[in-house]
Amino acid sequence: MFDINNFFQQLSIALLPFLAAVTFHEASHGYAAYFLGDDTAKRAGRLTLNPFAHIDIMGLLVLFLTRLFGWAKPVPVNFNIVARKKYGIAIVAAAGPLANFILALISSGLYHIFASIETSNILINKILVPLTLMAIYSVQINIALGIFNLLPIPPLDGGRILQAFLPPSKQIFMIKYERYGFILILLLLITNVVDYFIFPVIHYFVKILL
């Protein structure tokens, strides 16, 4: 039987780690582009760690349903500018997943600290338990977002990274058919390919960190 109270309790704990994950992911893209000479994100007000500047309602709704996956509004990047730097596109694309992996490592450290605290104080336990669960969710969400975004499918970050290392003719091909990337991603989800090939990788790294 579906327990709605338990669902919203878990969701309330997962919400903050999710907001942190997508905010740092998108902001890192913007900062990387800014350091490469592109101020598009800054002019759009997206060079910020304010989660409300990055939240996408549909991505948030998907979090409500999955409690693991979701997304934010992509930070605007002028790839014509960042491409002037060697591997500029790859650097900007890799910044998002890298931010997620760093957050996962930090969350792992916090989890082990919280889990190691032994106390009989009821008040402290009421604080420690939610913090420990948040750290667990943060590891899971950040690893999932980081790995999923590294899939070599445009417009995911992995597709951008791959594109940066291809010869110009292949880059044009990927740009031309980028619009169909979302269809391919949906097919991966619908056919459960994600369950068989991607979730095991996610679970492997989560298990190491926790």
The pLDDT of residue 66: 62
Tally the C-alpha atoms within 13 A of residue 29's C-alpha that lie toward its C-beta. Answer: 27
Selecting among 13, 21, 24, 26, the annotated active-site residue is 26
Catalytic residue list contains 178: no
| Euclidean distance between CA atoms 19 and 105, whole angstroms | 17
| Euclidean distance between CA atoms 156 and 177, whole angstroms | 13
Indicate the pLDDT class of residue 113, thresholds 50, 70 and 90. very high
The pLDDT of residue 137: 92
Residue 110: pLDDT over 80: yes
| Euclidean distance between CA atoms 88 and 163, whole angstroms | 11
Q: What is the pTM of this model?
A: 0.90
Residue 76: pLDDT over 80: yes
> Per mean pLDDT, which range of 29-33, 127-131, 136-140, 178-182 is the poorest?
178-182
Q: In the predicted model, what is the mean pLDDT of residues 48-56?
A: 89
Query: Which residue type does 91 have?
Result: I
3-state secondary structure of 55: strand
Indicate the pLDDT class of residue 93, thresholds 50, 70 and 90. very high
Using an 8 Å Cβ cutoff, are 160 and 93 in contact?
Answer: yes
